[in-house]
Structure 1
């Protein structure tokens, strides 16, 4: 299995972590009854940590489709090379670091890490041009 596909799989697993992290905290705050309900009633805002984890999840979901599409395009067109191997690792490791930075509320560094993940996507697109 190529490094590009391996990092895609690891990024998918990271996406699952992004889904469960905020939902676990919010369920602790609101209870299992809320989790099982239709959630028709307005609820108060989640705790600051749960809110940051929700925003990190949204941010991940905004970039992941571009990453996944670029990885699949690179593999299907057989454009894998050293640059694409670095690109997928930049994306994955930056996204892995991004989650705890966002959860901790670390400014600036978090944005820089996000830019590194975006660079990974751009490098994949460059390989397709």
Structure 2
């Protein structure tokens, strides 16, 4: 057990019989979160506004923009997630390959992941200041993941 700011982190963890550290577990969960973002940011609003026919049985070349403000918000949340995801994956992989993962990078990975989960309902309900704060927390998590890399330079 390791302790970081009164939080006990187990390292490494065992999942499906494979020993995995927290950063690798976050990497494993990010595609699932990305699928959720994809569905709520595109698939579900498209079906709700245009119908299943437009979503599944057409080429979707000339679909109109989403009209519902909630659909638009979810689409923007999805776009925002897609902007930060490559940075998160790159940093998490880099800290793994360099063998620099530690308690700070582990906590940073989970902070990023948790903030991105919380970001969905905050954006959906249109809470602007809190939305920006949660986004900043996710970026702070990425800075924490990169901290051991920066320290090794």
TM-score by length of 1: 0.94
Note if contact 1:52-1:102 (Cα within 8 Å) is conserved in structure 2: yes
CA distance in 1, matches of 2:81, 2:66: 21
Q: 1:7 aligns to what SS in structure 2?
A: helix
Query: Which of the pair has the greater relative contact order for Cα pairs under 8 Å at 6+ separation?
Result: 1
- Which position in structure 2 is the counterpart of 1:34? 54
Could you tell me which residue of structure 2 aligns to residue 99 of structure 1?
120
Aligned residue number for residue 100 of structure 2: 79
More strand by share: 2
In structure 2, the CA distance between the partners of 1:121 and 1:41, relative to structure 1 (3 Å rule), is: same
Tell me the CA shift for residue 42 of structure 1.
Answer: 4.6
What do residues 74-106 of structure 1 show as CA deviations (whole Å, max 9, x unaligned)?
001110111011100110001110011001111
Contact 1:84-1:124 within 8 A present in 2 as well: yes
For residue 71 of structure 1, report the CA deviation from its aligned partner. Answer: 0.2
Specify every segment of 5 or more residues in structure 1 that has no aligned partner in the other structure, as ranges.
none
Q: Give unpaired runs (5+ residues) of structure 2.
A: 1-19
Whether the aligned pair in 2 keeps the contact of 1:26 and 1:46 (CA below 8 Å) is no
From the CA coordinates, give the structure whose radius of gyration is larger. Answer: 2
Instruction: Answer 1 or 2: which has greater helix percent.
Output: 1
State the 1:61 CA deviation: 0.4
Q: Is the Cα–Cα contact under 8 Å of residues 108 and 144 in structure 2 kept in the other structure?
A: yes
In the TM superposition, what whole-angstrom CA distance separates every residue of 1:1-41 from its partner, at most 9, and x where no partner exists?
11001112222211110001131122122112211211233
Q: How many residues align?
A: 129
